[in-house]
Amino acid sequence: MAAGEMRYWGWGEDERAPSENAHLLEWLGERLGGIGPYVAPADLSDFSEPKVRLSGKRLRQLSAIVGKDGLSTGFADRLRHAAGKGYPDLVRMRAGGKVPMPDAVLYPDNAEQVAGLLRYCSAKEIAVVPFGGGTSVVGGIEPLRGSHEAVVTLDTGRLRSVSSVDGVARLARLGAGLRGPEVEYALARHGLTLGHFPQSFEYSTVGGWVATRSAGQASSGYGRIDDLVRGVQLVSPAGTLGLDARPASAAGPDLRELVLGSEGTFGVITEVEVELAARPEETRYEAFVFPSFETGAAAFRRLAQEGVQPDITRLSDEDETEFFLAAAGLEGARRSVLARYLKARGAPVESAALAVLGWEGPAGTTQGRRAQAVAAMKGFGAVSIGTGPGRAWARGRFEGPYLRDDLMGRGVMVETLETATTWSNAPVLYAAVREALGEQAPVVGCHISHVYPTGCCLYFTFLALQDQEDPVGQWEKVKRSACEAIVGAGGTITHHHGIGADHRRYLKHEDGRLGISMLRGARAKADPDGIMNPGKLL
Amino acid sequence: MAAGEMRYWGWGEDERAPSENAHLLEWLGERLGGIGPYVAPADLSDFSEPKVRLSGKRLRQLSAIVGKDGLSTGFADRLRHAAGKGYPDLVRMRAGGKVPMPDAVLYPDNAEQVAGLLRYCSAKEIAVVPFGGGTSVVGGIEPLRGSHEAVVTLDTGRLRSVSSVDGVARLARLGAGLRGPEVEYALARHGLTLGHFPQSFEYSTVGGWVATRSAGQASSGYGRIDDLVRGVQLVSPAGTLGLDARPASAAGPDLRELVLGSEGTFGVITEVEVELAARPEETRYEAFVFPSFETGAAAFRRLAQEGVQPDITRLSDEDETEFFLAAAGLEGARRSVLARYLKARGAPVESAALAVLGWEGPAGTTQGRRAQAVAAMKGFGAVSIGTGPGRAWARGRFEGPYLRDDLMGRGVMVETLETATTWSNAPVLYAAVREALGEQAPVVGCHISHVYPTGCCLYFTFLALQDQEDPVGQWEKVKRSACEAIVGAGGTITHHHGIGADHRRYLKHEDGRLGISMLRGARAKADPDGIMNPGKLL
């Protein structure tokens, strides 16, 4: 079943939401000090509809570019484009009332219409927010108007063509508006895969992945989207940048790397040419337990530096492992069995770190790659607990955000953030962020989600009872504290969520004054009137 | 033995030059229609010394920044920094007479001195040409003054510190002026290697590699310099850009990728943090023969797409193979033996394509990797001719430029150029460039030097008798014809030599009007007065 439109107040669709997890609720209730009953989010009628700040003439002129059915000022359309899926977004959308919305939503059919829209909006000083799947968790698609009179959201949902699949060079040209399942469906009949599976896979788009430098769950194997993009078309107010696919080049600075991560502030990505891999004929997802997060991390470093890392490499710290055991309903007798099994093999469950490793590939290859990985992990006390828990992880791999909706409905603040650093600095960064979060959230877990030869991504989840008076203020406080810990301890402010509005103030710690000035210099040539996604990134 | 200063009129040093190859000279003489006796290059006294366009006051002020021994206006220093090692450079340097030279050469000791120099030169409108090893073959270090009164060359030769080696994250901070052998020497005692071996390895520098997006002979295995750079420090007239090493990030556009390939036009690279690999404990270089370049290319594509490519992957076309057989003195009886051997194994020597594959790695690993590669090449008619020719290639891997000097002394035009494209487009590009070169050069050879999942690098060598009246004009004509063929057939204008002055006019075919404008916008923030390496890249 193809995914439809997401719920405006939360993730995904009602009919796809998994049922609540009673084990986890009970366990969390104990840790957080009582969880309330589920409260339904605001109804459509609970929102007030903001005035459309575009004159009838402007609307007619915009319509003339995209056609009548390419422009909407309808309330439902504006609401659906009002916010991403970050925690503060969902707090506001669950509450209803006054929510900022774009003045209109535009649905161009092709790159020429995008170019026409941007020229028009540039001339009339209308801010433009590019919108792919609407899954940003960092305020990347907030309808901010900046210094402009009005703001429109440009939805890439109609840019859905697959204009070429080259089986020899293993390249495909994909429309920016294609969602994950559509991409994989189109490539499957060529025996190919993009191998890009972010948790947002079912709803996020090719253009969004590139604009935010997305990483997927299997990116330790297939590569991040940065590694997979070979060509790109960016339509900006000043013109179009068309970069053809080339395997490698020494022809000056790499402009693809300016478009990657540009988050709609340089223009609209309309088409992307990506590198593909052979579609796997077999997969194996297997869980392991390490005696500690520290030893597991050392083993993961070994995997990456020997070049034998699985396609999926995930290692939970002791606290996140505890969370998963609770969610799996592992307590009492069942837990004792597991504890005895692990203890017999040298991994005491009292301080266990759960790992999920996944291999995908041609028939007959995963067994050999698994053997290489197991050999590299020798001496770190890894104990396999089989493919059952690995398959369970794979089944639920896109469902995390539904759990968040359920918990938010019960008055729980639940949020995630990620960073990356070198292997040598990872313990320092881990301790700093954990401490910052722990001061304000009773439940904090972390996992290594991606490994590289020089370092890894640390992905944190934290939960606390919601401050009912000021839930967004509560979030801002803990978020600021965590971000300051990250930049203070030498981590990148984001490994794959992006900058958006939320991380904008921290970019200077990485790029410096000159770096930001250089990016602004480049952007000014593409968007001289500053209409593109104001208030984000730079 | 550590390498010293290169000969101003050619490659390397007299005492390192290999002896002439009589077999090859005879073979070439037949093809080109007679090769002349060797004529020695111009002596130092054959050059006229251009006036220094800097006043005594300016020179004193520059000296005050770098110290007395950090500035030279001596003739030998100016001459040594007058040109790179491209064919037209060497034609001019062999001829003597009037040659443009920098007005002074500066040797800063550290990044602070570089910053002081650039601020001073910016204020006084003095053009600055950054200079690493001086090995550019595309006019990257020509002392052009642009619209400025004077031009100085900034030699990074004193920025030679290894300020850290992190064995855990496998990262090292390297001074920009370190040459290849110095880098490997410093890393060897940590059991590590950078794995970067361009043909210029003995003389080129870390900073130069990064500034030109260099690729080395083993980059199919270890990765290009673009892949290995994790952090970088760029000192520009407007300030310093310091990017810390991070394994991956989604924090906006990647500024490292603006510095990579910037060719000194944004500022001076003073330090680079690079990703390292374990130093190989064993190596195996082996030669194979394919029945044709086409089948060999198909096998190489398979190697890259199955992820089992050797670290060194080189495949010569039939003409280059003929050239190598001649250079190896394979004719008459010896050649018949080889022909019979190959014929018996299905690879007729009359249309053979020679491949060199190389594996490097921990003890006990190359055999297994070789088996994987041989399995992937099954069905393409590859016949091993053993490790002897492979080792011979490895012994002579840095000697090609000496042969060029010898041939130039005998009145032969000898030049190389490279491009890259997708596997699907490679046959079209190959035919187009070969035809363009063949119209003006009787001997043309090509090899695939690097493979990627989506495509490869095509590296051409061409030879003709020199036009004694106008050797540079002759070169310009064939070079233009080849470059137009490259851009017309969809190749990148350079895979690893860079843009410099020679390829500047072709960059628009890849980056387009908007892309070049964006790069200029970024550069204007780093170098508002346009003093950095004028006339190169953009």
Query: What SS3 class is residue A418?
Result: strand
A249, A275, A518 ranked by CB distance to B494: nearest: A249
Residue B2's pLDDT is 54
pTM of the prediction? 0.97
Q: Quick count: other Cβ atoms within 10 Å of Cβ B237?
A: 23
Distance CA A459, CA A391 (A): 21
Topology of domain B170-278, per CATH? 3.30.465
Q: Which H/E stretch holds residue B392?
A: helix B387-395
| ipTM passes above 0.90 | yes
Distance CA A205, CA A228 (A): 15
Token pair, residue B88, equals: 């037209």
Taking the CA atoms of B327, B331, B333 and B334 in sequence, report the sign of the dihedral they define. Answer: positive
Q: Are strands B150-155 and B104-106 parallel, antiparallel or unpaired?
A: parallel
Q: Whose structure tokens read 């070969």?
A: B434
Q: Quick count: other Cβ atoms within 10 Å of Cβ B372?
A: 17
pLDDT over 70, % of chain B:
98
Distance CA B507, CA B261 (A): 12
Distance CA A43, CA A20 (A): 21
Distance CA B105, CA B92 (A): 20
The CATH number of the structural domain formed by A49-279 is 3.30.465.10
Q: Which of A137, A422, A516 is best to mutate for the B interface (most B CBs within 10 A)?
A: A422
CA distance A125 to chain B (A): 21
Banded pLDDT at B343 (limits 50, 70, 90)? confident
Residue A65's pLDDT is 98
B214, B253, B510 ranked by CB distance to A260: nearest: B253
Distance CA A381, CA A298 (A): 11
Judge contact between B59 and B102, C-beta under 8 A. no
Residue B203's pLDDT is 97
Q: Which chain B residues contact residue A513 at CB under 8 A?
A: 239
Phi, psi of A358 (to 5 degrees): -135, 135
Residue A1's pLDDT is 42
pLDDT at B344 over 90: no
CA distance A206 to chain B (A): 15
Token pair, residue A37, equals: 């009953």
Number of H helices, E strands in chain B: 19, 20
**Considering only residues 429 to 468 of chain A, which have any Cβ-Cβ distance to chain B shorter than 8 Å?**
450, 452-457
Residue B283's pLDDT is 96
The domain limits of chain B are 170-278, 282-397
Tell me which architecture the domain covering A401-506 has in CATH: 2-Layer Sandwich (3.30)
Residue A349's pLDDT is 63
Residue of B nearest to A504 (CA): B251
Residue A338's pLDDT is 77
pLDDT in tens, B157-175: 999 999 999 999 999 999 9
Please choose, from the candidates B184, B152, B192, the residue with its C-alpha nearest in 3D space to the C-alpha of residue B62. Answer: B152
pLDDT over 90, % of chain B:
91
Banded pLDDT at B348 (limits 50, 70, 90)? low
Neighbouring residues of A19: CB distance < 8 A, sequence distance ≥ 6: none
Number of A–B residue contacts, CB under 8 Å: 282
Q: Quick count: other Cβ atoms within 10 Å of Cβ A517?
A: 18
Distance CA B291, CA B294 (A): 8
CA distances from B450 to A524, B390, B496 (A): 37, 17, 10
pLDDT in tens, B505-514: 999 999 999 9
DSSP A244-265: ---S---SSS-THHHHTT-TTS
Span between the terminal Cα atoms of chain A, in Å: 39
Residue B336's pLDDT is 75
Neighbouring residues of A175: CB distance < 8 A, sequence distance ≥ 6: A156, A159, A160, A161, A162, A163, A206, A270, A271
Mean pLDDT, residues B23-35: 92
Banded pLDDT at B1 (limits 50, 70, 90)? very low
Q: Which residues of chain A have pLDDT under 50?
A: 1
Q: A239, B537: Cβ pair inside 8 Å?
A: no
Q: Which chain B residues contact residue A274 at CB under 8 A?
A: none
Q: Which chain A residues contact residue B260 at CB under 8 A?
A: 253-254
Distance CA A95, CA A99 (A): 9
Distance CA A219, CA A224 (A): 5
User: Residue A53: exposed, middle, or buried by beta-carbon count in 10 A (0-12, 13-18, 19+)?
Assistant: middle
Residue B207's pLDDT is 98
pLDDT at B229 over 80: yes
Distance CA A295, CA A382 (A): 9
Residue A20's pLDDT is 86
* CATH of the structural domain A282-397, one choice from 3.30.70.3450, 3.10.450.50, 3.90.1660.10, 3.40.50.970: 3.30.70.3450
**Topology match between the domains B170-278 and B282-397:** no
Q: B230, A454: Cβ pair inside 8 Å?
A: yes
Strand partners, B274: B172, B229
A486 lies within 8 A of chain B by CB: no
Residue A335's pLDDT is 74
